Structure 1
């Protein structure tokens, strides 16, 4: 664990979701595979059976509507709709298929096995601090069993631009009604979580499980940990010991 000298015990904690509270990569890969199988059953055209076809349309849609990068669900819908329309399917059919495809993906995307250790940690922290989700993704905290631990859930697209933009951080600060330096943001992504939190005036905690080198020297996390359990040691156990 690493602490900056200016670290102070927070009054609230915000958490990133994907790859911070659980391993998101395998879940997304599985959801993408299910979606592709579904597309193959819906579309007789062979070109749509290749992931590269949809990747090209994802980039094309982003180039036309760059604001979609702040809403990954809407971005997926527009990608599917554009790809289906390019297969000479009419707008109504394409929109219906795109909606069905997104719905299917979200069902699979939320089949997340959150580690028991994560839930135990959140339960402990939630007895001492208000906890808030700040996520760029589209995981549903209720469906994955994490809703009871959080007072607020803020998602890019619905609640503002994606991290590292300050929209979600500012919204969290308003909801918590406290100074930004009283909030510790925990996340795994250097740019979205650490730079985003720092720029918003939050304290930042980098979950660096792979012990990577810091990406630059202009930004430093207030706290660096390699395992979430270190948060309990830092914020609860050490504080309790200090009062004895």
Structure 2
């Protein structure tokens, strides 16, 4: 059971908790491909091959382990490698990535999100905790949050307890003062529990909980969470 009096602040995951991520990524990749067709057609042809893309991503993962928590850098350097292999100007990688990244920030929020954030932010300090590369300013949700913790900037991603502890520290609180809210059973809910936080699993797809230790709360959307905290 959720211990509501203990909650002094809330940390929130972003991708697939506040918006569906794969439609966003697919749209951003389409915009990137269209840009490459106009500006780097040989690279665009390479990006049209799923096997070539898999090979480039595997190469980057194997050869740049320093970038494993920085999805932006991985994407940018993968584009740079593709440009180089296609015999086109690798310096175009910066512009190509920005085309992708700008579209990646054009998320479509779940219907419950904006009213829920308004409610929660009016009662608790909020901090985002994300392994992804969404930018709260560009997404338009920064006014709801006191802080944003990303794996890219922190150097460690969920479910490592340290990133959850960093979220608590950003608000000058202890982990036990926090409720973490997220969609991923392992990265978010179990990760938060192991970090000493309470956890609310946002289960929009009615999935089965996969672990032995259960979170304090499971909800179908953020409206249900807000109803419990009123």
Shared fold per TM-score greater than 0.5:
yes
CA RMSD of aligned residues (A): 1.8
Where does residue 240 of structure 1 map in the other structure? none
The 5 Å alignment of 1:186-197 reads 186-197=181-192
CA shift digits 1:120-144 (9 cap, x unpaired): 1111111111100001111111122
**Distance in 2 between the 1:102 and 1:47 partners?**
16
Where does residue 228 of structure 1 map in the other structure? 222
Where does residue 177 of structure 2 map in the other structure? 182
**Distance in 1 between the 2:129 and 2:46 partners?**
37
**Distance in 2 between the 1:183 and 1:70 partners?**
24
CA shift, 1:234, in A, is 1.2
**Distance in 1 between the 2:164 and 2:40 partners?**
42
**Distance in 2 between the 1:202 and 1:214 partners?**
18
Where does residue 71 of structure 1 map in the other structure? 70
**Distance in 2 between the 1:160 and 1:69 partners?**
9
TM-score, scaled relative to structure 1? 0.86
SS in 2 for 1:100: helix
- Residue of 90, 110, 114 corresponding to 1:119: 114
- Residue of 16, 24, 30 corresponding to 1:27: 24
The answer to whether structure 1 residue 42 and structure 2 residue 36 are counterparts is no
Task: Please list every run of 5 or more consecutive structure 2 residues that lacks an aligned counterpart in the other structure.
Answer: none
CA shift, 1:65, in A, is 1.7
Where does residue 9 of structure 2 map in the other structure? 12
TM-score, scaled relative to structure 2? 0.91
Bigger Cα Rg: 1
